[in-house]
Structure 1
Amino acid sequence: MNSEDRSAGSQVLAILELLADEAPTRSFEDLLRETRERSPDDARLPQLERAVRLALDIRTRTEQRRRRQSALAALVDVLQDMTFQEALDGRLSVVTRHARRLLDFDMAYVSLRLPDGSSYVHKSDGDTTALNVGLEMGPGQGLGDMAQERGAPFWTPDYLGDDRFPHSDAIDEVVVSEGLHAILAVPMTYDGRTVGALYGACRAVRHFSPDEVSLLRSLADLSASVIDATRRMDRVRAELDRERAENSRIGAALSESRSLAGVQASLSGMCLEGADLYDIIRLAATSLGADLMVRNAHGQVLACTGEVPDVDTATLVGAMVGSHTSTSVVELAENLWAAHVTTGVEGPGVLICKSPGPLTDEGRRLLYFTAQTVAMALLLRHNLAAAAGPARDEYLNDLLSGALQPPRHLAERARRLGLDPTAPHVVVTLRPEGGKQGEAAIWASSYAYRLSGLKTLRGECVVLFLPGSDPSAAAKAAADELSPLLGHAVSAGAAGPVRNLAAVGKAYQEARRCLDTLVALGGVGGAAAAGDLGFLGLLLSDDHDVDAFITSAVGPVIEYDAQRSTDLLHTLDAYFASGGSPTHAAQDLHVHTNTVARRLERVTELLGPDWQQPATALEIQLALRLQRARHSVYRPSTSPSRPAQADRCA
């Protein structure tokens, strides 16, 4: 091998060494220049130039391969990072973050396409204002729309100075606010569908190379597949959530239906066992989590479990008609419901429900079933009262007539009828002032059975024998319920309480006298017992309870004198004895007139401002006389044997 061949070989070896060392292009150019200067006429110079070009081509291809491998590795990293995110926002954040890092963008963002062809910016990275995310872009606006319509990348080195595409004021505002110039947009396409666009932007003028465009395009296509998969997964999750919710709803409905069936069975059982009306609606109220109230046709509350607002009559009538027509409950107001209660033997009633919130379908069905159960309970009670009526009427008639029967026999009959012979009872006599004794008798049967008492008819009157110790309250309650039913006044007299069944006849006679006296005094439609008639009641009463009369008339004055050692009672006596003159009363009492005036003011505080009215004043004077008479007979100096002697002389 001659020296020329060795020289050529050394030059080729030098080129290979530069290629192996990944020397810059200038090193290859320097080698050629030195060779030309040293041997400008060397015939092998073209071969050397060709070898340099081949080396540079190899170097370029190697760099391209390296960049592609790096880009592929970057795409793999993006895909791996996205797998750790489940939500679409998280995955798009990964895409924009990697796009900025891989291509040295100042800002990267993603817009998603809407069904109407418009787009909006969903996620952004590197932005410095709040204008970009959420920006809406109509059809035909911006680089992204052009890229999506053409299915190819579209870029500009200086956005605001480029008039190749239509501008939008909103988009231009974002570009100005962010200080952007170069913008690259590539479509995000998967399976022939464009889902949006991926953008890269720089705050300086920049020309994008094909490799950069290709890399962003690959990232966009990868993102499109992930977006599509995420949306499909979201739809699957949403469908699963709907299925779970539906299964939960069906399970809850099934559970509620089972609970409803159980409550209905319990209500039916309670009704057949003769449970109290309050117990029936209390069970339903607990199941509904609401308050219930049963009202009859006359507005009377038969049972109530809580605070239920009052409803006017017109609204109730409309609710009963609506509920009966639709065989369902009717909403009166917000969270206020009503259902009709119809027995067929009495006027229609209504069941009112006050719930804390809207009633479910099962709740409305339970409320309607409760109304039917209440109607059945009322009907059974009416039928039981009617069935037991003859025996109970006969027993009360025996008590009223005073037929001689052994006390043990009377007590045993009472127990068989469900009465407690040792409990206090009152006798109430009712007289409908407009006739309709038949309707009154039907009502009395149900009323007496409801209150665990007895009823019978005596002429034009209805007689009730009821548990209780307040005859006046019993008379008023009975009259108040019967009067609206008949549509006219009902007068009532009462007596009692009695704890001896043999004394029922006398109590009945006293109740009749109270009724006759009440009517004679012009009190038609009223209700009274002996205690309500003042001194007339004292005269009408069989036991002549003087102490009770004195207490009702001047009891507060007597109690005040006893507690404070005053003499108001004596002052009252002197005041009436002097003809109502404080001056004459003061002279009789040997005190100053102002003293009498102050005492009379105290009496007014104790007895009320009407104590000087004629009727009240008469009762007070009678009570004072009875008090004086009692003290005269039972004066302290009397020996223990004197009261007995006085009783024998009476």
Structure 2
Amino acid sequence: MAQLVPVDLVVDVLTAALGDDADAGDDDIARLLAEADLPEDVAARVGAEVRRLKATAARWRRRGRELAALYSSAHELAQLRDVDELLERLVQRAHDLIGTDVTYLSEYHVASGELRVRTTLGTVAPSFPNLRVPPGMGLASMVVTTRSPQWTSSYAGMTQAPHDSDIDAAVAAEGLVSLLGVPLLAGDEVLGALFAANRIPHTFTHEEISLLSAFADHAAVVLQTARLLAETRRSDAETRKAYGELSRHVEAMERASRVHEDLTALVLQGGDATDVADALGRALRCTVTMLDAELRTRDGVSLDAGDVREAVTRSRRSGRCVFLTTPEGRSRVVVAVVAGSTLLGALVLDQGTLAFGPVEQRTAERAAQITALLLLKQDAVVEAEQRLRGDLLADLLSDDPARVQPAVARAMARGVHVERTRSVVLVATDSEHRREAVRAAGRAVGNGGLVGEHANRVVALTAEEDPATAAKTVHAAVTRAVGGGVVAVGAPSTGEVATLRERCEAAESCLRVLPALGVRDGAVTTDEYLPYTALFGPGEDRVAAFVDATIGPVLAWDDERGSALVPTLAAYLDNRCSPVATARALHLHKNTVLQRLERVTDLLGEEWQRPERLFRIGIAVRLCTLAKATGPS
């Protein structure tokens, strides 16, 4: 029968166990159990359980104090705005929380991938502050890479991370033995690593790791906020300074010359950057050539003169005119068109009857500034228009009628009559050039059409009756803007909104097929490749069934054994069923080709080379080759 323990004894023992004085509590518990009339094994069992309860309560009280200190520290750090002061206070509070010999923070530099010790507390060796940790080396790099806590009780014997001689020397000079590092994470960004270290071997407990990690999470958010605020203040100051300098410069130049007033009036009247260049040429009686950011003229001609490129670079740095001399001995002035640190283009002035003096130089520089403002305005307008047109296209091509009908009305409000669409053109080009491609296609189509980016393609809806003409026009415009590697596919349209999506899908199917046919630049129509677009169009699954029924055994043989019967069969058909020509095309011996053809005979039957059968086999091989090249529809 179980031994009953008196209630008063239980209450007294629990009161002693949960008291604040740990040593006195142990003595009281031992005395109470000794005085109780309990068997020795029962007293021992009660004592063990009470001691376990006391240790648990002490651990939770300690945890409560740690959490209180953690939130107090987070609140204190949130009040700081200076980044350097914040880092110092952060390390100090972490040092107080964990109670290790040394606490330090390493800042992560994304560009170089290295970490640098930024702030320390408790260090004595001069080599430790500002210590640089190369990418992939040491415990710090492991913390950043894994984005999780890492620790070691003996750094000298650490094997989980590569050692670096400089880091080992600094750690040895500081006398560090056990280290715990946790990442400073702000969202997906790694700001650095926070370390707590001892000069004796120490196994870090789960509570210590959790506490330092929680503190690092709070600190990272505060640190990121402080950095952003500092950057905002710095950017705001720079912006105010730039606008102040620009305002003073504009006022001075307006007082300096009537030409400046004419340029300002031109801007107010809605002129564009080319109008400024023309006005500048008339005012200074010279020829003005406007170049874009790639140093190309408005006609798309690239300027290959090295001296002009160098002059643009120098002008970009100084913000002033740079003088050159042409091969004919005439003076030439180059001034860069910049916005902040971004090069938008350049103005090249070839001197005419008027000499370039200080006033003319200032006028050219003012014109470059006005050109930059206009280009930024034009870019902003074009960018907004592209986004609107892209959204409009997405709605027009949607399979949801609730989106399509309102889109038709919105298009009409922008002067685009969808019912007048007679050609749909899809353009494939590199993603980095797609923005320029949309602009070029928009200029080619004109105001009555609709051009935008949709599903990683440039889509143009135009009233041009002939899809081939529409495709060639768009292809020529985009090629001039971005260079080669442009494929444009035109598809006829009836103007019915319900068919636009179908026409685009047909053109997209054609775009996927063309690279497999060797077409990587040019303008075509879907009608020219109608058999391919029909076979590889959306929802078509009969091709696979036909191919499997015709050459399925050959395909299975290649799949199971990794052989090349299908490529051999394709080369055989392409070379007029000549084994010799096939062997030459595949760089194989004739006997090898004959052996493979014998295997094909075994798989397809003796009559596979009869004309009608061979015709179907040829189509199946071609379709199989195209399907592998184009991927799933």
Shorter chain as denominator, the TM-score bin is 0.3 to 0.5
State TM-score, norm by structure 2: 0.39
Larger radius of gyration: 1
State TM-score, norm by structure 1: 0.38
